[in-house]
Amino acid sequence: MATSANPTRADFEALLNEQLGGAGEEGFEGRVVKGTVTAIENGLAVIDVGLKSEGRVPLKEFMRVDDEHGLQVGSEVEVFVDRVENADGEAMLSRDRARREAAWDKLESEFGEGKRVEGRIFGRVKGGFTVDLDGAVAFLPGSQVDIRPVRDVTPLMDMPQPFQILKMDRRRGNIVVSRRAVLEETRAEQRSELIDKLSEGQVIEGVVKNITDYGAFVDLGGIDGLLHVTDMSYKRVNHPSEVINIGDTVTVQIIRINEETQRISLGMKQLESDPWDGVGAKYPVGAKLTGTVTNITEYGAFVELEPGIEGLVHVSEMSWTKKNVHPGKIVSTSQEVEVMVLEVDSEKRRISLGLKQAQRNPWEEFADKHPIGSKVTGEVKNATEFGLFVGLDGDVDGMVHMSDIAWGISGEDALALHRKGEEVEAIVLDVDVDKERISLGMKQLEKGAPSEAGASGALRKNQIVTVTVLEVRDGGLEVQVGEDGATGFIKRSDLGRDRDEQRPDRFQTGQKIDAMVIGFDRSKKPNFSIKARQISEEKEAVAQFGSSDSGASLGDILGEALKKKD
């Protein structure tokens, strides 16, 4: 008969059922329970968990460090009950499952709180690695191993280290972890700590870690700063590798710290003296200097006057004679050139330079070498509807107007007599340096052409001379003074006062007539007028013999004048 001091097996079963909620021994299955080691034999631990029979668990499931299980008879352990009784009547127990279940419970709690977990990388699988999280196996994707790609993970294997759980699914037994997230978070914390110790304007040493086309990244002791190419030197730097190399230790100044993005901008040139200080005194307007072409663009060329000081020669200031030409056809990179300072803006750090101003104006030079009236030779560069352009010394062009090509023919016909590439002779009629124009005449070299002396000396305005008709045209008469004198023209409207007298066909070639010089054209050729001579003679007659108010007719006055002249 059972007593409270000596409980029977039935009493124990009843107590156990009460503890398990009336489920009996079947309530043990799928649970982690505590048991006592009753024996250790043949590599197995015999464990009593209070069931009808004991269970056996391999000792290797208890081994964690240095291949030692650390068990002895009487040790209390936790195991997982797979089955209460197998075919042999023994309980099916598992230490690994117990550890895994305990690990899952702990990991779910830590995942919910966003905590880091500790684990060991112990295997390699497709796309990543396996991690032991104290009994639970997790997957570590290859992209989550480190911040930068890692070629060899051997040094990381079997080493306790923190991980961040990204995803958990207990039903499927799926856990995804990241080592990279822990490193980034740690790095961000360290970065914030380091940034708090830095300040704008601070001078600090760093090591060049990487070089790009636009600058270099400098390690400031756990945090990187960007040294932009424009802040490396006051002089032009085409690529950062011209100034620094990877691994160089450099002294830099912190220019800016962006608290939001935690980006740090660095500078090297800020530690040097600024060459633009006092630039206006060093490079006064009008000064001629020698510099080196550093860069060529469509709008001009940059010329370095000294390290850190560059000026721009605009395309319009590159050549006196070459217009609308790309600067690369006038100068080349690294070429040494002479320039003139045109403008200095210290605030905007700009210097305007002139290349052509450092050379003499070719039109001034031409005017000095070839005064008006001198003869020149050149090649017809181009023929237009109004004249010929002739290439002259000094790479300048002169223009022969169509009216100054030949005597006795129309301008259109005169243009047709010449072609591009032909070498011609001409006389300099005018040079306008400001407008960069040279006027030439070709017909003035022909026999009978008026010379400058003949136009301004032998003949004068309002002078009455006797001329010989050389040619009768519809528009008037081509005439000549004397046998070898100046030739000129009498327009149809100047052949007489009356309309009947203004017919050119009433004159014949070789006929001599009196006419008045009424002016000279741009080529110094005189213009004559019979009409102006008639009006002048009438005025003279009226002045000598009285006005028509005396009763005498104009015809009588002219008759008396002609008699007196005879």
User: pLDDT for 134-191, tens place per residue?
Assistant: 778 889 998 988 888 888 888 889 889 999 989 888 788 788 999 998 888 887 777 7
| Burial of 442 from C-beta contacts in 10 A (0-12 / 13-18 / 19+) | buried
Please determine, looking at this structure, whether the domain spanning 280-358 carries the CATH number 2.40.50.140: yes
CATH H-level superfamily of 27-99: Nucleic acid-binding proteins (2.40.50.140)
The predicted pLDDT at position 566 comes to 47
The predicted pLDDT at position 104 comes to 79
Q: How far apart are CA 322 and CA 340, in angstroms?
A: 18
Average pLDDT, the chain: 80
Q: Which of 258, 332, 239, 252 is nearest to 293 (CA)?
A: 332
Specify the CATH number for 198-271; select among 1.10.3720.10, 2.40.50.140, 3.20.20.140, 2.60.40.420.
2.40.50.140
> What angle (nearest 5°) sits at the alpha carbon of residue 99, between those of residues 98 and 105?
90
Collapsing DSSP states into helix, strand and coil, what is residue 46?
A: strand
pLDDT digits (tens, 9 = 90+) for 497-528: 888 888 999 999 889 999 998 887 655 678 89
Kindly state the average pLDDT of the residues 316-344. Answer: 89
User: Cα 285 vs. chain centroid, distance in angstroms?
Assistant: 29
The predicted pLDDT at position 6 comes to 59
* 444 has a pLDDT exceeding 90: no
Question: Which residue carries 């992209």 as its tokens?
Answer: 143
Q: Assess contact for 183 and 140: CB atoms under 8 A.
A: no
Kindly state the average pLDDT of the residues 36-55. Answer: 73
Residues of the chain with CATH 2.40.50.140: 27-99, 114-184, 198-271, 280-358, 362-445, 458-545
- 163-185 burial: b if 16+ Cβ within 10 Å, else e: bbbbebeeeeeebbbbbbbbbee
Q: pLDDT band at residue 557, thresholds of 50, 70 and 90?
A: low
* 564 has a pLDDT exceeding 60: no
Strand order in the sheet with 44-48: 55-58, 44-48, 32-41, 76-83, 92-94
Specify the CATH number for 458-545; select among 2.40.50.140, 3.40.50.10320, 1.10.10.10, 1.10.510.10.
2.40.50.140
The predicted pLDDT at position 453 comes to 40
CB-facing half-sphere around the CA of 356: CA atoms within 13 A? 16
DSSP 448-504: TPPPHHIIIII--TT-EEEEEEEEEETTEEEEEETTTS-EEEEEGGGS-SSSGGG-G
Q: How far apart are CA 225 and CA 218, in angstroms?
A: 5
Specify the CATH number for 114-184; select among 3.40.50.300, 2.160.10.10, 3.10.129.10, 2.40.50.140.
2.40.50.140
Looking at mean pLDDT, say which of 4-8, 219-223, 354-358 comes out highest. Answer: 354-358
The predicted pLDDT at position 21 comes to 42
Rg (CA), the chain: 56
Q: How far apart are CA 135 and CA 111, in angstroms?
A: 16
Q: Where are the beta strands (DSSP E) in 42-169?
A: 44-48, 55-58, 76-83, 92-94, 116-125, 128-133, 136-141, 161-169
Q: How far apart are CA 136 and CA 108, in angstroms?
A: 11
Token pair, residue 77, equals 């352990």
The predicted pLDDT at position 314 comes to 93
Question: Which residue carries 């030739």 as its tokens?
Answer: 487
The predicted pLDDT at position 53 comes to 67
Helix (H), strand (E) at residue 516: strand 512-520
Collapsing DSSP states into helix, strand and coil, what is residue 44?
A: strand
Collapsing DSSP states into helix, strand and coil, what is residue 339?
A: strand
Kindly state the average pLDDT of the residues 397-424. Answer: 84
The predicted pLDDT at position 154 comes to 86
> What angle (nearest 5°) sits at the alpha carbon of residue 511, between those of residues 508 and 513?
120
* 433 has a pLDDT exceeding 90: no
pLDDT: is 424 or 409 the higher one?
424
Token pair, residue 281, equals 């005194």
Q: How far apart are CA 267 and CA 132, in angstroms?
A: 47
CATH says 362-445 is which class?
A: mainly beta
